[in-house]
Structure 1
Amino acid sequence: MAHEALLQEYEARRAKALAGGGADKYAKRSAQGMWSARQRIDYLMDPGSFIESGLFGSSGVYPEQEDETQTDGKLAGFGRIDGRDVCAVINDFTVKGASTSATNSKKVGHMKRVATERGMPLVLIGESTGARLPDAMGSRGMGLLLGNDNTQFRRLREVPTAAAAFGPSFGSSTWLMCQSDFAIMHKSAIMAVSSPRLVSMALGEKVSAEELGGWRLHAETTGLIDQFADTEEEVFDQIKKFLSYMPNHHREAPADAPVPAGSGADMHKVFDILPESRTQVYDMKRVIKCMVDKDSLFEMKPRFGKSAVTALARLGGKSVGIIANNPLHRGGALDADACRKIVDFIVMCDSFNIPFVMLVDTPGFQIGTEAERAGAPGKIMNFMNAMTLVTVPHISVIVRKSYGRAYVCMGGGRHSDEVAAWPSAEVSFMSPDFATKIVHGVGHGEPGFEEALADIRKGADVWGLAAVYAAQSVIRPQDTRDYLIRMLDVYKLRMTKGVGQHLMRSWPTSY
């Protein structure tokens, strides 16, 4: 065949592959307000930077389906996001519902290997009906599709991985979301092991898609996602922002960023935020925003375990994790969900060389039947274990109260590199109010209560903690930002260029 004819065949095949599932399916998606896979690539990647891998892939089980399986339903390749090299896989729902096949599984595996071996962040965009039928049926189908890569679901947190779910996201799309360091759902997405139709057929259970795996379920109940979004643009903007705090891989520290003008200018406002009464609630997020670089706060899991705040931010231009109790919810008491959320965040920070700060204002762990049924003791022990395995710089600041074993989990004693406290801090085995009732047998409103409370509270003030060197510093609230920037610099990992030991890199995704 002449060169010209070969090139004509190439162009024809390329055009067919780029057409995906065809104009009609794209038009239908557009009418629903959903982007095509290639529109998603164009928005995510720097202009002109995407190089596709596997454009001519198609079904490897039924060659006669070649014309129906352009790119085999998954686009894969290399590009740049804000100038940084990344690997990406974007599902094309117009081709067989982006169902998982032998060929497109190879594409996903290849991208994951390249990202890991060459030190590039990985982005996975899911929208899928699950395993491809009938390809996966029978022993031949199972032999071709499943179990051929024993590292497929190994998670060692070697490169930052961000995943998004759109529309139906069953099977592999769900698995990859659960394996990622940052998972975000478009509000159209349904993330579940299998579809409502299959659940109904197999179990006779009638359930709506939203009940089975909607964004509210995963944002508020399971905690399997970190964020959610109304629009396509917002999904990809959040992925880009998340990656901006991350290093390219686990063997380097995150890059610095310019410090915006006005950062720290509101530190004096913490006096207006923090109530004088220890029993009055406030929103810790307002305190955090005063401390960190302007507009740098990026919260993760905001609707899950709400008595704790976990967020990425910057201090003096450097990436930092923020872990804080939030008295606005449960008075800041740590329930099972809050413990799990914090541990998940600690693991991510330590795995990717991100120092973190703990802002403490908690009455302790939640107790009672609700806590026990949620497995609180196990979550608390995971929290304690994780704190003993941290290898990145971490500083604890006691803002108001720190009682019981939660004092240790929130960085008390030698569980932080440095412990500081505000003059308002109060530390004890339990709250002075409750201790007064137990020790003296008197409660609020009863004769002698106020005198007994004052005596017990005096022994809980910050000066006792400082006297025994359990708090290395007592600082003015308005000096907290400068203190944290200085201490994080003091404790930076100079001898390893900012790289920790990653003792938790294989920590389970969910437990």
Structure 2
Amino acid sequence: MANYNLEKQHAKGKLHAIERINALCDKDSFYEIYEGARHTCTSFGMDKKDIPYDGVITGFGKINGKKVAIYAQDFTVQGGSLGKVHGQKIAELISKAIESRCPVIGINDSGGARIQEGVDALCGYGDLFYQNVRASGAVPQISIIAGPCAGGAVYSPGITDFIFAVDKISQMFITGPKVVKSVMFMDISAEDLGGASIHSQKSGVAHFRCQSENDCYEKVRKLLDYIPHYYGEEILSQKFKFDERKKEKHIAEILPERSTQGYDMKEVINCVTDDDSFFEIMPEFAQNAVVGFAKVEGKSVGIIGNNPAGLGGILDCDSSDKIARFVRYCDSYNIPLLTFVDVPGFI
């Protein structure tokens, strides 16, 4: 059993890597693998450093009773930096997830490449990116940004299916504020450069913005209830409620008499889908379009809609990208689409 430095993370207002895994998984379901892995670097005094589990905890657990692969980078160990063995551990976990046909969840809290290992660290990233590409369309890949992540630490999340960001904790950028200042002579905070609000509202990189870590893990668990856990899995119908008379009356009240009047398409979506089942994706980005998952007669469907409440529902670059990315994901896993159209045109 490893000796985890919980207090160091708690002092920053964050959970430790092992606490994050336990908060995400069903109780007592996580089983760690490759715990004894250690780096092989001998340069810059690294031969004298023992880095437990090489800074990343990897293994399998269960969420809502179904198997998932999970890794969590430990910022208290060498800053969560990725070396060759660290990268190989994550890559091997993803490979096993593909074989096991289960989703991969990465909890990222890393300063990027372990500089002492030089090119070997980049080799570790190469192994990781290769497995990210192999898993694309085979099993869902979910990334949680749980700390300051720079450089290579954001390349991998950037090519996964869903990204979760947490207020005042998550930061994603290619390079940090100090480098920006030295090259562009511009003062900018880490939060303004790559905080949760920037990526959920302006860049569209983050699919979900959460108020706290626990809120984030609850949303991940909820998302996994809507999506197939591997390509070809048939999602079984679950119990559902649908008050047809009440919703039929409500939808008539929502739609305006004049076509020039706006309304919130999400209210229409709630009238058509099962009660309280709509789970919106990217709610803060390109609000003139709506995408998400919902249940129809207990089965998952993808939802796409123009939203007259945002810019009149007009299609622009951001809303088109938002819709296209979501359609691509649903197509990869044979998730049926339900489309709500009310668009005045393109801009």
TM-score, L = length of structure 1: 0.64
Q: Relative to structure 1, is the Cα distance of residues 351 and 172 closer, same or farther in structure 2, using a 3 angstrom cutoff?
A: same
Runs of 4+ aligned residues of structure 1 deviating over 6 Å after TM superposition are none
Give the corresponding residue for 1:413. Answer: none
> 2:232 matched to 1:248?
no
Deviations for 1:57-105, whole angstroms, at most 9, x for unmatched residues? 22221363443x1111111001111110111111111111111111110
Whether contact under 8 Å (1:247, 1:255) holds in the other structure is no
Whether contact under 8 Å (1:264, 1:292) holds in the other structure is no
Q: Which of 253, 268, 275 is the aligned partner of 1:294?
A: 275
Whether contact under 8 Å (2:128, 2:156) holds in the other structure is no
Give the corresponding residue for 1:97. Answer: 79
Name the SS of the counterpart of 1:280 in structure 2.
coil
Q: Relative to structure 1, is the Cα distance of residues 170 and 142 closer, same or farther in structure 2, using a 3 angstrom cutoff?
A: closer
Q: Which of 117, 125, 142 is the aligned partner of 1:135?
A: 117
Q: Relative to structure 1, is the Cα distance of residues 265 and 207 closer, same or farther in structure 2, using a 3 angstrom cutoff?
A: same
Whether contact under 8 Å (1:121, 1:161) holds in the other structure is yes
Whether contact under 8 Å (2:67, 2:102) holds in the other structure is yes
Residue type of the partner of 2:149? S
Give the corresponding residue for 2:12. Answer: 32
Q: Relative to structure 1, is the Cα distance of residues 60 and 260 closer, same or farther in structure 2, using a 3 angstrom cutoff?
A: farther
Whether contact under 8 Å (1:186, 1:215) holds in the other structure is yes
Deviations for 1:111-134, whole angstroms, at most 9, x for unmatched residues? 111111221111011111111122
Whether contact under 8 Å (2:86, 2:124) holds in the other structure is no
> 2:164 matched to 1:181?
no
Whether contact under 8 Å (1:50, 1:77) holds in the other structure is yes
> 2:70 matched to 1:88?
yes
C-alpha distance in 2 between matches for 1:116 and 1:44: 20
Give the corresponding residue for 1:283. Answer: 264
Q: Relative to structure 1, is the Cα distance of residues 48 and 149 closer, same or farther in structure 2, using a 3 angstrom cutoff?
A: closer
C-alpha distance in 2 between matches for 1:273 and 1:217: 32
Aligned length: 342
Give the corresponding residue for 2:321. Answer: 340
C-alpha distance in 1 between matches for 2:247 and 2:122: 61
> 2:248 matched to 1:267?
yes
> 2:213 matched to 1:232?
yes
Name the SS of the counterpart of 1:228 in structure 2.
strand
Q: Report 1:134-213 matches (<5 A).
A: 134-136=116-118, 141=120, 145=124, 147=126, 151-154=130-133, 156-187=136-167, 188-213=169-194
Whether contact under 8 Å (2:81, 2:114) holds in the other structure is yes
CA shift for structure 1 position 149? 6.6
> 2:41 matched to 1:61?
yes
Give the corresponding residue for 2:3. Answer: 19
C-alpha distance in 2 between matches for 1:80 and 1:272: 43
CA shift for structure 1 position 206? 2.5
Deviations for 1:375-399, whole angstroms, at most 9, x for unmatched residues? xxxxxxxxxxxxxxxxxxxxxxxxx
C-alpha distance in 1 between matches for 2:227 and 2:249: 30
Name the SS of the counterpart of 1:163 in structure 2.
strand
Whether contact under 8 Å (2:125, 2:152) holds in the other structure is no
Q: Relative to structure 1, is the Cα distance of residues 85 and 328 closer, same or farther in structure 2, using a 3 angstrom cutoff?
A: same
Query: Whose radius of gyration is greater, 1 or 2?
Result: 1
Structure 1: any 5+ residue segments left out of the alignment? 1-13, 367-511
C-alpha distance in 2 between matches for 1:190 and 1:342: 25
Whether contact under 8 Å (1:263, 1:292) holds in the other structure is no
TM-score, L = length of structure 2: 0.93
Q: Report 1:92-491 matches (<5 A).
A: 92-136=74-118, 141=120, 145=124, 147=126, 151-154=130-133, 156-187=136-167, 188-260=169-241, 262=243, 265-366=246-347
CA shift for structure 1 position 267? 2.9
C-alpha distance in 2 between matches for 1:142 and 1:41: 25
CA shift for structure 1 position 254? 2.3
C-alpha distance in 2 between matches for 1:86 and 1:263: 36
Residue type of the partner of 2:146? F
C-alpha distance in 2 between matches for 1:173 and 1:150: 11
C-alpha distance in 2 between matches for 1:212 and 1:311: 27
Deviations for 1:284-305, whole angstroms, at most 9, x for unmatched residues? 1111112111111110111111
Q: Relative to structure 1, is the Cα distance of residues 169 and 256 closer, same or farther in structure 2, using a 3 angstrom cutoff?
A: farther
